[in-house]
Amino acid sequence: MDVITHKCPNCGGPLTFEPSDQKFHCPYCLSIFTEAEVTAFEEQQQKARLADETTEAVTTSGGSGDSPGDTAASKSSVSSEKETAASATMELYLCPNCGAEIVTDATTAATYCYYCHNPVVLKGRLSGQFLPDKVLPFAVAKDEAVAKFLEWSQKKWFVPKDFFNKAQVEKLTGVYFPYWNVNAEAEGGLNGTGTSIRIWIVGDIEYTETKQYSVRRAGRFKFRDLVKNALSKNVQQKMVASVQPFQLERAVPFKDQYLSGFQAEKRDIEYEKLEPDVEKELKGYADSLLRGTVGSFSTFVANSSHLELRDQQKEYLLLPVWLVTYKADDQQKRTFYYAMNGQTGKVAGILPISYKKLGLVSIGIFAVLAAIFLGVAYLI
């Protein structure tokens, strides 16, 4: 498997994607490139590499036209494939920049080298059948995400002080999570009984009129952008789901350059596993829409309903989320998660509570109330 770093065409430094201007930045020579420029440069590099490999094959096997970093990446590919057979959960690669070991689990597709902090993309993880159809690039930069995180959390009372310290804030990580996006067209119908009740009084007599109607409704439906999680290890699924919706019309055809500088996960939930739940959810939406057209009966009882999906299209997407975790310093050692939509800035999460702060405030309130009570008693 290829372990690659997208490099600056000018100085060879590692490029990272900057959400603020949707371009690629080099932290060394400060050059800025568009996606088209990076792609064109890498295509030229690929052609030159193939030419070198062809020349090497014709001559001898003793020489090598690859750089030391490329050799390290090639060796890591061989070793990683061997280790995959031995372990289905953890795999080892070599950083193409410093040669240090990078240990990942089976779904990680982009990460950092823990030693030189070089952004790396495990290209083989997002290829073939696992190649995403589209990616929604980050639009919220880390500085903005940190500011929003502090603004959101500092408004809350009784939050531990270490939740706001620099070390904690620096844990904020941009992650591309895998999702299935479903568009569908369908035809459906609903049959039921509507009851209309009218009550009036004449003199001392109350009259009740009851009418029943056979109700039939039918329609054609177009469903757009039903987003379903495609990662089983995403333990914070509910929280990540709560930062939706994403503006999916801004998604672009997938290119792994957008992953540079972020972490990314590949899917491990296939659509076939989700399909029964998707159909059930779509049927529920259709049923709700049809019921909304029934009218103002006193009661309505559905006797039967059906939905036939005519055209179902699915897309494999990578969507951006800023994520931070916090492990509480208590007996339970609970872990708290904070998430932000990497495109819209919508936030979600559960904050930890400092029981020390809560206790001090409670004692203070008790002391104030006691003083007021004693003062009133003294006056009396």
- Which of the two residues, 179 and 372, has the higher pLDDT score? 179
- Are both 169 and 275 inside the same structural domain? yes
Average pLDDT over residues 303-324: 90
pLDDT score of 217: 93
Q: What is the maximum span of the chain, computed from C-alpha positions, in angstroms?
A: 113
Q: How sure is the predictor about 176, in pLDDT bands with cuts at 50, 70 and 90?
A: very high
> Taking the model in full, what pTM does it have?
0.76
> What 3-state class would DSSP assign to 189?
strand
Please give the full DSSP string across 110-129, using - where no structure is assigned: EEE-TTT--EEEEGGGGSGG
Indicate whether 115 pLDDT > 70: yes
Indicate whether 191 pLDDT > 60: yes
Residue 137 counted as domain residue: no
- Are both 81 and 200 inside the same structural domain? no
Average pLDDT over residues 79-88: 42
The model's pLDDT over 21-74, given as tens digits with 9 standing for 90+, comes to 999 999 999 999 999 999 999 999 888 878 776 766 666 555 444 444 444 444
- Which of the two residues, 115 and 65, has the higher pLDDT score? 115
- Are both 210 and 317 inside the same structural domain? yes
- Are both 22 and 168 inside the same structural domain? no
Give percent of the chain with pLDDT exceeding 90. Answer: 41
pLDDT score of 87: 42
Indicate whether 283 pLDDT > 80: yes
Alpha-carbon distance of 173 to 336, in angstroms, equals: 15
Residue 136 counted as domain residue: no
Residue 147 counted as domain residue: no
- Which of the two residues, 353 and 323, has the higher pLDDT score? 323
Indicate whether 214 pLDDT > 90: yes
Q: How sure is the predictor about 379, in pLDDT bands with cuts at 50, 70 and 90?
A: low
Number of domains in the chain: 2
Average pLDDT over residues 266-280: 92
Find the range with the poorest average confidence among 6-20, 122-136, 153-167.
153-167
**Residue type for position 180:** W
Chain-centre distance of CA 114, in angstroms? 23
Alpha-carbon distance of 103 to 119, in angstroms, equals: 14
Indicate whether 20 pLDDT > 60: yes
Residue 367 counted as domain residue: no
Give percent of the chain with pLDDT exceeding 70. Answer: 74
Residue-range definition of the domain harbouring residue 114? 3-126
**Residue type for position 138:** F
Find the range with the poorest average confidence among 52-56, 64-68, 136-140, 279-283.
64-68
Residue 366 counted as domain residue: no
Phi/psi for 290 (5° steps) reads -65, -40
> Residue 4: which of 17, 15, 330 has the closest Cα?
15
pLDDT score of 8: 92
- Are both 220 and 305 inside the same structural domain? yes
- Are both 205 and 348 inside the same structural domain? yes
- The tokens for 81 are 């494939």
Chain-centre distance of CA 209, in angstroms? 55
Cβ atoms of 107 and 265 closer than 8 Å = yes
Please classify residue 290 by burial: count the beta carbons closer than 10 Å to its beta carbon, then call 0-12 exposed, 13-18 middle and 19+ buried. buried
> What 3-state class would DSSP assign to 180?
strand
Average pLDDT over residues 164-191: 86
- Are both 111 and 200 inside the same structural domain? no
Alpha-carbon distance of 127 to 252, in angstroms, equals: 17
- Are both 175 and 47 inside the same structural domain? no
Residue 140 counted as domain residue: no
- Are both 171 and 250 inside the same structural domain? yes
Which stretches of the chain are assigned E, i.e. beta strand?
Answer: 3-4, 16-18, 23-25, 32-33, 90-94, 101-105, 108-112, 119-122, 134-135, 173-202, 205-229, 252-253, 263-265, 299-327, 335-341, 347-349
Find the range with the poorest average confidence among 117-131, 226-240, 277-291.
226-240
Residue 38 counted as domain residue: yes
Alpha-carbon distance of 269 to 264, in angstroms, equals: 15
Q: How sure is the predictor about 325, in pLDDT bands with cuts at 50, 70 and 90?
A: confident
Indicate whether 75 pLDDT > 80: no
Measuring CA to CA, how many Å separate 191 from each of 135, 211, 290, 299?
Answer: 42, 17, 10, 14
For residue 245, say if its preceding peptide bond is cis, omega within 30 degrees of 0: yes
- Are both 115 and 167 inside the same structural domain? no
Find the range with the poorest average confidence among 27-31, 69-73, 102-106, 266-270.
69-73
- Are both 122 and 162 inside the same structural domain? no
Residue 289 counted as domain residue: yes
Cβ atoms of 119 and 110 closer than 8 Å = yes
Indicate whether 162 pLDDT > 90: no
- Are both 116 and 58 inside the same structural domain? yes
Alpha-carbon distance of 110 to 262, in angstroms, equals: 7
pLDDT score of 38: 93
